[in-house]
Amino acid sequence: MMDGYEATEENCLLRRPVDDDQSASQTSDFVTYAQMAAAVIENNGSPNNDTDRMATMRHAKDVLDSHRDFMDSPARPTTNSDETNVEKTIDERDGNLNEDGLISLAGNWPGPRNNDRLSPDVLQNPSQHLHTIHNCASSYLLKSRQTEAVTLLEMVVECQKAKNGPLHEDVGSAVHNVGVAYLRMEEHYTALQAFEEAIRVRKGALGREHPQVAVSLVKAGISLMLLQRHEDALWIFREALSVRKLALGDLHPSNARIYNNIGCVQVEFDELQEAKRAFESALDIQRNALITNPENGPMIFGASTTLQNLGFLYGKRDMYEKAAMVLRESLSLQERIMYPEHPTVLSTLESLAETCLDARRFSHALKYYTQLFDRSQSMELVNCMKQAVTLQTIASINGHLDNPKAQIKKLEMALQFIRSDGDTSDSAREEREVLEKKIQQELHLIQGDLQAQEDKWI
């Protein structure tokens, strides 16, 4: 069982560039488990000053006035049971965390613990209803209402400061939560400021080598990566790893994520051998943890991410056979904890199919692209243009396999998908016209070649 703070961190995942002509500085990108963004917290004077508290209250009321539904019950969005289970396995929910990955409200506060409806009394007396405010903030994040969530989480910070003083571990957790919320708003510089403040508070309250310090260090590293400040990110990830090792030991499962993120930064520096060693260190820890706890969902997901990054690295070095091998293992792990049509699973399946195509393993590529098409087709909302492009790729593979009849069939299916796309925007219409013209040209050429061959045998 991983410690609760583990779930508040993020793992970086490399992805292939869309345009092969991108410059060397743009040859990779990374995404994270959660919606990435950044955090800001403003400190205007003493935390116990009534002026600051009233400023926070005015901010809350301004938001209340500008968002009519701000006080509506922010009920958590319903999801199907499969998706809910996936979220729980990824983030290792326990008593220290809310469903959005926020650290639970710390301290002994009055008022109901399970209420999630705002009222004027709640906003006017936040210290008497801090559980409600925190619950609503978490719910707003789940509904992508970040502005309201940040307002409420900043109120929690002010209440924690008023009760405990500026350097207290509960204040550090509250500031860190503000960072998590702003991390959804893509304000990366202000995110960095928030997590640096959380680091300062946590170091002062808990000591420089406490595991909670490493949690905020990792978030600061993520923010630096998003700001393209890779050297600074590498430095802060290494500091986090040092803290973790001293506090928890070299082989603690939480070290794996930091090794993974270090590898991603080293890819940005084109230090591919060092990146490989970092990914392999992460994978060694994850596999060792899975031996003792094979059903640990977060560790399964983390290992699958590390394997994807290794696949990216092998592909970057044109080692397509090895890339395909680790991507197959990643896909197998993901399918243990997610349903077949989960977006993460489909993304890995597509990467595997692309890698097999790069390796000119056409039979394998055909198998995986067909799986990708079939699984995508079973989704509630089908992306017609995406399906058309997949069919076009399958047709091309059939061409390599010298199966022109199957090639023609897939191109005709692709045209049907293009014509059934319901997006009426100008950009979508232009995209459809370009793709339709290209497929019709391919179809005409293949049909002409097939007819010429048939005429030759008559």
> Read out DSSP for 11-33?
-EEEE--S-TT--GGGS-EEEES
Query: Exposed, middle or buried, 266 (CB in 10 Å: 0-12/13-18/19+)?
Result: buried
The tokens for 21 are: 């002509």
Residue 104 is assigned to a structural domain of this protein: yes
Cβ atoms of 125 and 131 closer than 8 Å: no
> Read out DSSP for 358-424?
HTT-HHHHHHHHHHHHHHHHTSSS--HHHHHHHHHHHHHHHHHTT-HHHHHHHHHHHHHHHHH----
Last residue of a domain, one of 121, 151, 182: 182
Q: Around Cβ 207, how many Cβ atoms within 10 Å?
A: 12
Angle, in degrees to the nearest 10, between helices 426-457 and 384-400: 30
Residue 68 is assigned to a structural domain of this protein: yes
Residue 14 is assigned to a structural domain of this protein: no
Q: For each of the chain's 458 residues, which pLDDT tens digit applies?
A: 333 333 345 678 887 665 444 444 344 566 553 433 222 223 333 344 444 445 555 555 555 444 444 555 555 444 333 333 333 333 333 334 444 568 899 899 998 888 888 888 898 899 999 999 999 999 998 888 888 999 999 999 999 999 999 999 999 999 999 998 888 888 888 888 999 999 999 999 999 999 999 999 999 999 899 889 999 999 999 999 999 999 999 999 999 999 999 999 999 999 999 999 999 999 999 999 999 999 998 899 999 999 999 999 999 999 999 999 999 999 999 999 999 999 999 999 999 999 999 999 999 999 999 999 999 999 989 999 999 999 999 999 999 999 999 999 999 999 999 999 989 999 999 999 999 999 999 999 998 888 877 767 75
φ, ψ (nearest 5 deg) of residue 383: -85, 100
The tokens for 391 are: 């069919």
| CATH number reported for the structural domain that contains residue 452 in this entry | 1.20.58
Q: How many domains does the chain have?
A: 2
Cβ atoms of 25 and 8 closer than 8 Å: no
Residue 213 is assigned to a structural domain of this protein: no
- For residue 253, give the 3-state DSSP assignment: coil
Residue 234 is assigned to a structural domain of this protein: no
Cβ atoms of 135 and 114 closer than 8 Å: yes
Residue 457 is assigned to a structural domain of this protein: yes
Distance, in Å, from the CA atom of 73 to the CA atom of 69, rounded to the nearest integer, reads 8
| Domain around 71 | 40-182
The span from the first CA to the last CA of the chain, in angstroms, equals 71
Last residue of a domain, one of 134, 149, 182: 182
Residue 277 is assigned to a structural domain of this protein: no
Residue 124 is assigned to a structural domain of this protein: yes
The tokens for 131 are: 């559980």
- Quick one: DSSP state of residue 2? -
Last residue of a domain, one of 130, 147, 182: 182
Cβ atoms of 293 and 1 closer than 8 Å: yes
Q: Which candidate, 170, 169, 268, 185, places its Cα nearest to that of 223?
A: 185
Cβ atoms of 135 and 205 closer than 8 Å: no
The tokens for 251 are: 């082989």
Quickly tell me which residue has 């097939």 as its tokens.
Answer: 450
